Amino acid sequence: MISPPSARPISRLRSIVSGSIGNLVEWYDWYAYSAFALYFAPVFFPKGSPTAQLLNTAAIFAVGFLMRPLGAWMLGAYADRHGRKAALLLSVRLMAGGSLLIAATPGFARIGVAAPALLLLARLIQGISVGGEYGTSATYLSEMAGARHRGFWSSFQYLTLMGGQLLALVVQLGLQRVLTPAELGEWGWRIPFVIGAVAAIGALYLRTHMGETAAFEEQQHGLVAARAAGVEQAPAPPGQMRRLMQHPRAVMTVVGLTLGGTLAFYTFTTYAQKFLVNTSGFTKEMATLISFSVMAVALLFQPLLGALSDRVGRRPVLLMFGIGATLGTVPLLRLLAQTQDAWVAAGLLVAALFVVSGYTSISAVVKAELFPTEIRALGVGLPFALTVAIFGGTAEYVALFAKNQGVEEWFYWYVTVCSFLSLLVYWRMSETQKNSRMAPE
């Protein structure tokens, strides 16, 4: 048998890089919405206080998350039947379309309620895209990586995810330097979405030339052999859902380990920028600069902790996050709310994201190690997307709602309780590195 592309080291590395760049572009497009919401909120929702306008944009941000389970189901099932590469190509096409729609949609003053309606439609399309992107990308990177360095290479899932957010902040910082606040609010906020759509075309080209994983190709060879022997073909997507339900423990483990991790991640990344403005009292420009600096440092934590998990196991790294987030969230957010020193704010957020990296750095590989090849993309993506839609996607809205009601600290305790629930899962789960459902190579 001819060795598949994924089995050759150079081709494997090229495919990992191509897949990672595509992932970065997708998440840039997704986070550009959150990064520029401070500027375009009045365009689509002209009435109300700044907090009320942000609540409206946060609501659409949350609704976009509600489409992620649908995307995880559709593209996950597609990836498990037609290949990881095919699903990744489809997801980047959807993201490009959503970005172009946001860039081209007129404001409320020109087309009335059709403006927020089109904004919502664009976010629904992007929600389907990233819903399918996560599970398929996590599966692709984990299957492409060799067993010895699987934690390290799969950490590029969140490295590029956070890199996409960082890139959105880079664009924001650049536009803040060359455009006035009025220009940014009138038309400058459209530029990052045009950039995202163009970058997605480049990502599509790279993904067209990357290889398929050996695990999927071996599964397909097995199906071909089975058909030749007269055995029934694999079931359609509804059958795949029944297959997924045959792994209830793995599904619930994904839900439990994601619960606290996704809420903490969105609290200290996308929401932190608004927290610095609305609660700590920093200017928009300073909040953006702080967020950029913190994310740049946090990127380094991903491969470091991913590589550490290859040496000490996944569970100890997850426990580090669970314990740190449970004990540290409330005091850290209290300090962040009171500080007006940019260096202190940045230091607090770096500390928070180091702890959160105990989850993000190995999130992909832990989930992929729980499921067999024929159901892996759907198993990784769907329970993750459901949990993120409920907890991660609503993080900003819940935080802003609590602030609007004068009970902002309730949100701090909400994050703490969810992190504790995940800690219980980490404490009771087995070591996935030793009991992996993935082949050694």
Residue listed under structure tokens 């609503």: 394
Q: Which tokens sit at 52?
A: 């009320």
Percent of all residues in the chain with a pLDDT value above 70, rounded to a whole number:
88
* CB contact at 8 A, 61 and 41: no
106: alpha, beta or left? (left if phi > 0; alpha if psi -120 to 50): beta
pTM metric for this prediction: 0.80
Which residue type occupies 205? Y
* CB contact at 8 A, 366 and 240: no
Mean pLDDT along residues 252-271 = 92
**What is the per-residue pLDDT across 201-229, written as a single tens digit (0 to 9) for each?**
888 888 887 877 777 777 666 555 555 55
Query: In this predicted structure, what is the pLDDT of residue 1?
Result: 36
Distance CA 313, CA 321 (A): 14
Domains assigned to the chain:
11-215+240-428 (1.20.1250.20)
Residue 5 has pLDDT above 60, yes or no: no
Indicate the SS3 state at residue 138. helix
**What is the per-residue pLDDT across 282-329, written as a single tens digit (0 to 9) for each?**
988 899 889 889 989 999 999 999 999 999 999 999 999 999 999 999
Query: In this predicted structure, what is the pLDDT of residue 48?
Result: 63
| DSSP label of 210 | S
**What is the per-residue pLDDT across 119-154, written as a single tens digit (0 to 9) for each?**
888 888 988 988 888 888 888 887 777 777 888 888
Query: In this predicted structure, what is the pLDDT of residue 78?
Result: 86
Residue listed under structure tokens 């530029």: 191
Residue 260 has pLDDT above 50, yes or no: yes
Give phi and psi for 45, each to the nearest 5: -130, 80
Query: In this predicted structure, what is the pLDDT of residue 2?
Result: 39
Distance CA 82, CA 80 (A): 6
**What is the per-residue pLDDT across 83-127, written as a single tens digit (0 to 9) for each?**
888 888 898 889 888 889 989 989 888 888 888 888 888 888 988
Query: In this predicted structure, what is the pLDDT of residue 237?
Result: 44
